[in-house]
Amino acid sequence: MFKYSSSGDVWMRGVVMVGILSYGAYIPIWRISRTELSRATGIPSMGGERAVAGWDEDSITMAVEAGLDCISDLDVRGVDALHFATTTPPYIEKQNATIIASALDLRRDVSVADFTSSLRCGITAIRAAVDAIKSGRCKRVLVTVADCRLPVPGSAQEQIYGDAGVAFLLGKERGIAEVKEFHVLNEPILGTWRRSEDRYVMQFDPRADNVVYVRVLSETIKALLEKAGLCLKDFSKIAFYANDPRQYVRAASAIGIDVKSQLQDFLFADVGVTGAAHALLLLAAALEDAKPGDRILCAGYGDGCEAFYVEVTDEIESINEKRRGVKGHIRSKKLLPTYELYMDFKRLRDRRWPEPAKASVVTYWRDEIFELPFYGMKCKECGRITYPVARVCRICGAKDKYEIVKLARRGKIFTYTYDFLLGPGGYPGDGVYPGIKAVIDLEDGTRVLLEVTDVLMGELDVDMPVEVTFRLIHQKSDYRFYYWKARPVRG
């Protein structure tokens, strides 16, 4: 029945099997307690805290961070396609996945695609990746999913929503888990929605939504089990999207899932509901505790339901421990002290910040290889690595004698300064949020000047270990410029 090729490809009755080769996650370091949200809005606290993307983060930057967590120890040149799924794309007309592919230093000929408009688009992107691999068009596909949904200020959704990203690398190899079966059921009416001219997520009567939600979710999972010839008790963990933790538990009970032993932790107390990323973030969390032979069912909901399941292999025990994953990011956190600072992170308070005075799109395009995938130059005469790239080596003066090399992602602070005249992202300083810049000595010996993020005043010091992180550097005429910044190494 089974046939294994010398290249590691697996067939079952002539059908190529697809495996999850690696996974990664990203949860912003910033959290705000629901007690603080309750104090500011008057809505009773739901307990715990929620993840908040920084002012310089969006779904693109979080997808890059999740992708790095997934493939940082792998050969990225072997990736043939990149899928990016989100309901909050920074660009409506401009491919977001292309920016992510460049930042991750993928080949320029990889196939890229954006999946959007539905909360289940992440699982749609997974299914499309599986189809591409089974067809033979791709050997490895990286799927990145991230969401940064904006709730109405003062609403209950401010306590429910959270920001996060997740990534999966799929391929023909055996991997840590095999993707087994999918099922899709469409439901075009009800659910959350947002038009292109809307800033906030809208919702109809949640009571009507809940009736449709339970019915569609139940029918989809039932049909998936029938396809696979399995029953609910055959699964170690079951994870699916829900609008809130109460709906999650109620739906599980209605379907017949054992809430205590089978239902995956919803991550509400520490993260919140992360939109299109949430179902797959739960899958990544389940894989962190999985054992060989475990079956995990994952379902996304939005304009219908899309579900699939995986079967964990013995490779799960050898997965690289370098990734932070879900647990590592949850442990690494800082609390926003006030609701007002949260409002500034979300750009919900008008602070009269004008656009930066200088920003050249032409220069940004010309220097893309140095700015997005982050390359420097290595002099062929003295051997020193410097940044940015120039025709003349600033160490020995050799002209046009260099090669392009990838820069290290970690280093230490050599010196730093707080700039009150020029605030974050090149905006004029307002005396509250200074721009923080530091000279960084990277591990490969390169000295670079970078803006520092994820810190408050008084938290930096000389020789502090830092790592580079992909962020929004500034905007001009609503065009977003992305670049690398430094942040203290997350624990």
Q: Is the pLDDT of residue 356 over 60?
A: no
pLDDT score of 344: 85
Average of pLDDT values for 91-101? 97
Q: For the segment 382-415, what is each residue's pLDDT rounded down to a tens digit?
A: 999 999 999 999 999 999 999 999 999 999 999 9
Q: Is the pLDDT of residue 372 over 50?
A: yes
Q: For the segment 228-258, what is each residue's pLDDT rounded down to a tens digit?
A: 999 999 999 999 999 999 999 999 999 999 9
Out of 13-17, 222-226, 288-292, least confident range: 13-17
Confidence of residue 208 (pLDDT cuts 50, 70, 90): confident
* Token output for 95: 């491919």
Which candidate, 121, 102, 228, 196, places its Cα nearest to that of 166?
121
Out of 90-99, 108-117, 194-203, 270-279, least confident range: 194-203
Q: For the segment 167-183, what is each residue's pLDDT rounded down to a tens digit?
A: 999 999 889 999 999 99
Confidence of residue 364 (pLDDT cuts 50, 70, 90): confident
Q: Is the pLDDT of residue 150 over 60?
A: yes
Q: Is the pLDDT of residue 14 over 80?
A: no
Q: Is the pLDDT of residue 133 over 80?
A: yes
Q: Is the pLDDT of residue 4 over 50?
A: no
Q: For the segment 16-42, what is each residue's pLDDT rounded down to a tens digit?
A: 789 999 999 999 999 999 999 999 999
pLDDT score of 318: 83
pLDDT score of 6: 35
pLDDT score of 5: 38
Phi and psi at residue 442, in whole multiples of 5°? -70, 165
pLDDT score of 323: 85
pLDDT score of 209: 83
Q: For the segment 275-333, what is each residue's pLDDT rounded down to a tens digit?
A: 999 999 999 999 999 999 999 999 999 999 999 999 999 999 888 677 899 999 999 99
pLDDT score of 210: 86
pLDDT score of 15: 63
Percent of the chain with pLDDT over 90: 77
Average of pLDDT values for 43-64? 96
Rounded CA gap, 383 and 395, in Å?
10
pLDDT score of 202: 86
Higher pLDDT, 335 or 430: 335
Q: Is the pLDDT of residue 8 over 50?
A: no
Rounded CA gap, 32 and 13, in Å?
52
Tokens 């003062």 found at: 154
- The answer to whether the beta carbons of residues 58 and 119 sit under 8 Å apart is no
Cα–chain center distance at 371: 20
Angle at 17 between CA 25 and CA 26, to 5 degrees: 5
Q: At what angle do helices 278-288 and 121-134 cross, to 10 degrees?
A: 70
Which candidate, 42, 49, 26, places its Cα nearest to that of 342?
49
pLDDT score of 10: 43
Mean pLDDT, all residues of the chain: 91
pLDDT score of 78: 94
Average of pLDDT values for 433-453? 93
Confidence of residue 11 (pLDDT cuts 50, 70, 90): very low
Higher pLDDT, 432 or 101: 101
- The answer to whether the beta carbons of residues 132 and 141 sit under 8 Å apart is yes
